[in-house]
Structure 1
Amino acid sequence: MDLDAFWALIERSGRETADPDERTDWLIDALAGYPAAGIVDFQLHLDALRDRIDTYRLWGAAWLVCGGLCSDDGFWYFQAWLIGQGREVFEAVAADPDALADVPAIRELAGRDSEEWAEAEWPDWESLDDVAEDAYEEATDGDLEQVLVDRGYDFRLSPEPPDTQWNWEDDEEMERRYPRLTKIF
């Protein structure tokens, strides 16, 4: 599976259903029909895309959107959610996290307290991490994680941004870094 096929599956799952659990199930079923190597490739593409957006630059934007409720796990699931938005949104936000201000799902959250958000509105997609592993098991009865470990692949289960973190509670700094997001959040 090449990167274009990865994005095609992600985007098709979003057209099939907006519910994250149903999307996960749809992706597992679709991916289980691929050869084992394709399922492995799906996981490798997911992780490579996650690496591109595993930055404090994006984490600060996610923290702002989520009203400060963006722990390690929260940011990890936010990354999956961003990938789930499709290639065009992903590329725009990867280039400039302030572009989150243009994402319709984010705009719908603006001006509302996060305590009022429905569970399905939260910008996270925790179960995307299980898709390739579940599809691989369904297709082969094998263990995807073991296959990748045998290849020397290093699994990460939480963010490890390489850039420098700053004080996200510094309003002036946040406004400088995210002028559009700070206007709506």
Structure 2
Amino acid sequence: MDIDGFWALIERSAVLADAPDDRLEWLTDRLAELPAAEITDFSVRLDELRRRADTHHLWGAAYRICGGLCSDDGFFYFQAWLVGLGREVFERVVRDPDELVEVPAVRRLAGRSSGDWDDDEWPDWEGLDYVADAAYERVTGGPDGLDAVLERDGHDLLLSPEPTDDDFDPRDRAQAVARYPRLAELFPLSPARL
């Protein structure tokens, strides 16, 4: 599966299902209709996209949107959520994380406490990490086979964020305004998070 095939599946899932869990079910079912090699390719493509989104610059934007609640796991699931928004949004946001202010799902969160967000509103999509595994198990009949195949083929599994760009303190107001002027305005951090 090439990158175009990957994006076609992700974007089609958004058209055919509204809820994140329904999208995951649809993706798992579609992947399970493919040969095992295509499923491993899907997993590799997801890792490749995560690596492109795995920056302190984007992590700081996620931290701001989530009101300071963006751990390693939170950012890892944020990356999957960003992929779930589709190719055009992903490319725009990876180039400039301040572009997140143009995403309707992000705008709906502005001005609201994260404690008031519904589970489906959180900018995370942890379940995307498991669709290839579930589909691979269906096709091959064996659990944990996908990771073993990926490792055997020399694919370095990405299990958590590992940004390589320059780190910074996302709580530093001056840096946040310089990096994300629109996000900083839309999502000011509460004094408790500074």
TM bracket, shorter-chain basis: over 0.9
Q: Which moved more, 1:155-164 or 1:46-55?
A: 155-164
Pair 1:128-2:128 in alignment? yes
What 5-or-longer segments of structure 1 have no aligned partner? none
Pair 1:11-2:14 in alignment? no
Cα distance in 2 for partners of 1:149, 1:165 equals: 29
> Residue by residue, what CA displacement relative to the aligned partner does 1:58-105 show, whole Å, maximum 9, x if unpaired?
000000000000000000000000000000000000100000010010
* Runs of 4+ displaced beyond 6 Å: none
The one-letter code of the counterpart of 1:89 is V
The alignment covers a number of residue pairs equal to: 185
1:165 to partner: Cα distance: 1.2
The 3-state SS of whatever aligns with 1:126 is coil
Q: Which moved more, 1:75-84 or 1:172-181?
A: 172-181
Instruction: Output the TM-score relative to the length of structure 2.
Output: 0.93
Match of 2:30 in 1: 30
Cα distance in 2 for partners of 1:123, 1:168 equals: 18
Q: Which moved more, 1:135-144 or 1:62-71?
A: 135-144
Provide the alpha-carbon RMSD of the alignment: 0.8
Match of 2:168 in 1: 166
Q: Trace 1:34-53 onto structure 2 (pairs within 5 A).
A: 34-53=34-53
Instruction: Output the TM-score relative to the length of structure 1.
Output: 0.98
* Alignment partner of 1:180 out of 179, 182, 187: 182
Match of 1:21 in 2: 21
> Residue by residue, what CA displacement relative to the aligned partner does 1:2-38 show, whole Å, maximum 9, x if unpaired?
1111001001111112211111111000110011111
Match of 1:151 in 2: 153
What 5-or-longer segments of structure 2 have no aligned partner? 188-194
1:141 to partner: Cα distance: 1.4
Cα distance in 2 for partners of 1:54, 1:63 equals: 13
The one-letter code of the counterpart of 1:106 is V
Cα distance in 1 for partners of 2:18, 2:91 equals: 20
The one-letter code of the counterpart of 1:48 is E
Cα distance in 1 for partners of 2:153, 2:100 equals: 36
